[in-house]
Structures are given as C-alpha cells and as structure tokens.
Structure 1
C-alpha cells in the first residue's frame, strides 16, 4: 500500500474510507481561495477530498451541503453529493481545518471559446439552481450585494479623495502592474457614476434566495456539450438570482462584451426574470467590472497576498482588463 500523507488517511477514515480500500490519492490543482483538493479512488468509485480555506465556518459549509442535497432531490443530479462522516455530519475536522468528501464529477471543464450549447447549459444550470428547491425565497428585501458594493465604492472613493490610493511604485510583480494601475485609474474616472448607479437601487426590493455567487466555467463539467457536473458552492450567499446571472454572463463574455439577450433568454427558459432583475444583473456587472479589480489591488498590493498559481491570477487580471476596455459603453449607464 502506498505511503500516503497520514493526515489524508486520517480524514478519509473519518469518512469511513479505510486505507486498505484506497487505490490512489492524487493532488489536484486548486483555485485561488486557499483550498486544497485531492482525487481519491477506491475500487468502484472516485471522490473529491477538499480541505477548506482557513477560517471557513461550519455553518457556511453545511448551508452549501444542504442546498446541494435539496436540489439533488429535485432532479439536479449533476450537482456534487457530499458524503457523511462517521459523526453523521457531512464534514470532518483535522488540524483545525474543515474537510469535505464529495462525489467526483466526471467530464471535462469547458475551454475558451465556449460553445453555444455549453453556454446555454451553464445558464440553464444557474436557473435550475434557483428554481428547483423546496423552500420559497425567504422574503422580498433589498439586495445585500448592492449594499456591499455601495460600501466598497465609498471606501475606495474616500481613499481617492484623501489621496490614499496605494502606490504601485515598489510592487514586485511587473507583469501585473499595468492591470492594477488600470483598475485604480478606471475607478478614479468612474466612481461618481458608479456610486450614483448603485444608490439608485439602494432601496429596491427583490426576491432573495441561495446564490452560488461565483459560478465560474471551470466549476462545470461536460461530456462534449452535455453538462455532467457542477460543483463548488463554497461562495454561496443570500441574494437575488441576478447575482449569479451577472457573474456567469461576465465569465462567458467575448472580447470584453456580455451578450445579455442570450443570457436572459437562456435563464428565462427555466426561471422567469422580471425587468427589475434583468436591470439588477446589468448593474451588478458594471459594479463588478470596476470593483473586482480593486479587490485584487487590496490582495496583491496592500495585503501582500501570494497565490500558488500565478497563471490563474494573470488570467483573472486579463479578463478584467478586457471588460474594462468596454466599460464606457456598458448598458448600465
């Protein structure tokens, strides 16, 4: 039997997978969140073992597991299922961190340029997530996402007014510096317009429910154009469907532009949208284009955070700069 990391075998034993049953444990490439992932193979199945980021809460993890389980019972069997540990819970704890074991998603991630059927399937999956569950939306209320973006816009506006925007003079990654400078310059130019736009929706109310919040194409799996899997609900939060719609629409945008008609029509096949929800998605997108880059300035320049995969960082920055090139003609304005 191979000599596996004892922590991994300890955690798998907590999920009732004993060392003798394990055929292989292979580390997989993680994302940018700080989580770590392994593919675990036994005789008749494969699983995904995931170590959650530091300080990830139990309540947040269980909420994601409950949302997936509920929707799987309503036919979304392409969502990952979470296996119970010997405690009866769908997580284990080791070394002060949370672990989960989920079913392995067969298929391959879509690659750019995404085919029309793949994009259609991804939008339909988002719509199904919001349509296929037992609990109705909790209430009609203001969007937490709009509140968050108003606060973020004001935080950076004050930095600009007080001449406290970070300097990139000594930033140690020259390949990223032009993008970060563009993010700061664009915010200085557009923050007044963005602030007014967000405040115009500050008191609008919407149906709020579980949102995936960060539905990236790399979290989908396909067999050709057939959707076989959707995983990673770790960013899940409470908001309107417009949050998920805006995120995915941006992710599959072409040459920096979003095909809103395609996005809306694909979702409407399963989950009807109101005109105010369509408008909210467009406003979310404009805010995301201008504010997400500032998050990267915070992480890379102010916090000095490091990421294991520099190519992922470069890809995210490149995507944002492509979107910024078209911001002047954004339909939100």
Structure 2
C-alpha cells in the first residue's frame, strides 16, 4: 500500500464523505521534524492530514497537545489548528505504527523575511501573546511558579558539552559527510567552544529563578508563522508543546524574526506585552533563552547531520537553515569578544538588569553581570 492509499484509509476513519476528496501529498512541506503532510480538499472543507514521525510524540504528549489546541480554539483562536475527532472519538488515528491527525488547513505563507515590516512583527507577537493568554486558563493544568524546564534542560545540556561532549562531537565532523556544510560545521564547533562558558554562566544564574509555568509551544519560529498580508492567519507545528515559561516562546520567535536587531526586539516585546505583560524575571530569561538556543541549535544540527547521519528530503533547505544558525552564533561570539560578560548580559537593559539583581538576590544571591547598569 502506497502512502497516499494509506492516507485515504486513515481519512475514512474520520466522519464525513471522502469519496470525492482530493488528496495532495506534500511530503515534509519544508519542515525538519520527519512528519509527512497531505492537503485534503473536500466539498466545503480544506484540511491537513499529518503523520507524525515514529520517534515522537508519545501518546500522552499528543493528548496534552491536542487538549490545549482544542481549548484555545474554543476561545476563538481559529488560526491555531484544533484537531478533528475521529469516528472513535479520539483526536488521532494509529496506522502503520504512527500517529495521524486531521486539522483545518491554515492559510497564508511563512514569508516574514521577504517582507519584514514592523506591523507584521507586531502581528506575530500579538498572536503569540493571545495564545499564551488563552492557554493559561487550560483547565487540566493548575498554573504554578517554578524553574522553567527549558532552563534546567539547557543547563544540563551545556554542562555535558563543556565536560567533553563538544570535543567528542567535533570528531564526527568530516568532509565526506555533507561536504557543503563541512566548513560551517567546523566553525560552529569552534564558536560554540568559545561561548559555552558564558552561556553556562547565564543558565546557572537563572536556575533559581521561578516564573509562572503554563502550556507553551516551545518551537514557534519564522517557518511556523503564516501571514496573509500583515495578518497572522496560522500557527503550525505544535509537536514540542509542553509546560514551560512563556519566555521560551518569546525568545524562539523573536530570535528567528528579529535576529540581533535591538530595535525590532523592542517592537516585538512591546507588542507582546500589550497583551500579556512579562514579569521581570521572565523578561530577563527571554534573552538568556535566545542566546542559549542559538548555541544549541548549531550543536543540534551538527549532531543530526554528522553524528546521526540523518536524511532530509530538502537538502537545500537544510543547508540554508544551518548557515542561518551558524551566522547567528558567529554574531553572538563577536559581541562577546567586544566586551559582553555573559550572553544574556549583552542585551538586558540597565533598569531591567537592576531589577533582576534585586529579585535574584531575594531568591538566594544569584548573579547578573554588573556591566549592564
């Protein structure tokens, strides 16, 4: 049975008459997760059928993800694709050992970089803030304060890299594997070794900071935000949705849209905070998570390509993405060489830095660089 035939069999497990449905296989549709997509055009319906990769998500993660999406959909966020229930009542189907889901097709294009207007940046951060505000009231999760999982997980990851993991990884980078990325990969390893210590220091400082925790997307970036003109008409790919601090989403999205342009960061933050104000520690975490994410993104791609030898259908998209993350890492390193004491400290405004020190001291004397006052 070919993949399109399997997709049709899965579709028949959902309510409706699918005899005249047009099924268009989209492959990975430019993504890197390993999921496969089909666009389903049926009378009065435009839908997306998704087959998740074998590795993820777990059933519990998928149930949580779908429950949150259904919850925010009930609050009017129709640009977040709420999954459809199957004939059996579940919001997924299992076929061929994989999870499948059916959801509305999200219109628009992920084209911010080709038209990076401030109004579109505001729309993206506005949509993210609306999602966070809606998800905050998710009934199956009691809001609480705690150390964000993204901080603790990245701290452990960076510590392992500093303890020899990066040296071991460097030995996997050889010219006969992805030769077009050999030099960028070697440069990424060299740059990462230079910034690991300050990034680790930032994460160590933040490990005692407790912030509100709630459902967060955790992988919302340029290619997952769809625009029609200046409006956001779709957010896609919620496979990483877990409980975390909202700062992880703000950092991921702004880092991918604004890069290292401080004026765009302020525009984005102002738009977000007009709907969902950030606490002092949340705002401080945004840049720490951005910089640590820049380092770990480069490392992650090297692991995928050179150690794990992963295959991707769109080789050009991979090359483009890797060059982007390495360029970002190079910018971070250059700024640190020019006098920044820590990665997060390069950006944090003086008044916020002072307030963070005060809050951190009350939580046990955690440090923030003095150079930001």
Deviations 1:126-183 (A, max 9, x none): 1111112423762100111111111111111122687663242344212111221122
Note if contact 2:158-2:196 (Cα within 8 Å) is conserved in structure 1.
Answer: yes
Structure richer in helix, relative to its length: 2
Structure 2 match to 1:10: 9
Structure 1 match to 2:339: none
Note if contact 1:171-1:301 (Cα within 8 Å) is conserved in structure 2.
Answer: no
Q: In the alignment, which of 233, 236, 242 is matched to residue 231 of structure 1? A: 236
Structure 2 match to 1:55: 55
Structure 1 match to 2:74: 73
For residues 163 and 25 of structure 1, the distance between their equivalents in structure 2, rounded to whole angstroms, comes to 45
Indicate how the Cα distance of structure 1 residues 44 and 269 shifts in structure 2: closer, same or farther if over 3 A, else same: same
Q: In the alignment, which of 187, 200, 207 is matched to residue 205 of structure 2? A: 200
Q: In the alignment, which of 141, 149, 155 is matched to residue 150 of structure 1? A: 155
1:329 has 2:335 as partner: yes
After the TM superposition, which segments of 4 or more aligned residues of structure 1 sit over 4 Å from their partners?
Answer: 160-164
1:84-233 superposed matches below 5 A: 84-113=85-114, 114-133=116-135, 134-135=137-138, 138-159=143-164, 165-233=170-238
Note if contact 1:127-1:270 (Cα within 8 Å) is conserved in structure 2.
Answer: yes
For residues 108 and 87 of structure 1, the distance between their equivalents in structure 2, rounded to whole angstroms, comes to 33
1:303 has 2:286 as partner: no
Q: In the alignment, which of 257, 271, 276 is matched to residue 276 of structure 2? A: 271
Q: Match of 2:275, SS? A: coil
Structure 2 match to 1:33: 33
For residues 27 and 162 of structure 1, the distance between their equivalents in structure 2, rounded to whole angstroms, comes to 41
Instruction: Give 1:220 deviation, angstroms.
Output: 2.4
Instruction: Give 1:108 deviation, angstroms.
Output: 2.7
Indicate how the Cα distance of structure 1 residues 75 and 160 shifts in structure 2: closer, same or farther if over 3 A, else same: closer
- Give the structure-1-normalised TM-score: 0.92
Structure 2 match to 1:289: 294
Indicate how the Cα distance of structure 1 residues 74 and 191 shifts in structure 2: closer, same or farther if over 3 A, else same: same
Bigger shift: 322-331 or 174-183? 322-331
Which structure 1 segments of 5+ residues have no match?
none
Indicate how the Cα distance of structure 1 residues 61 and 162 shifts in structure 2: closer, same or farther if over 3 A, else same: closer
Q: Match of 2:40, SS? A: strand
The alignment yields a C-alpha RMSD, in angstroms, of 2.0
Deviations 1:81-111 (A, max 9, x none): 2111111011111111100000111223324
Note if contact 2:54-2:98 (Cα within 8 Å) is conserved in structure 1.
Answer: yes
For residues 197 and 108 of structure 2, the distance between their equivalents in structure 1, rounded to whole angstroms, comes to 45
Note if contact 1:166-1:301 (Cα within 8 Å) is conserved in structure 2.
Answer: no
Which structure 2 segments of 5+ residues have no match?
337-342, 346-373
Indicate how the Cα distance of structure 1 residues 164 and 35 shifts in structure 2: closer, same or farther if over 3 A, else same: closer
Note if contact 2:118-2:267 (Cα within 8 Å) is conserved in structure 1.
Answer: no
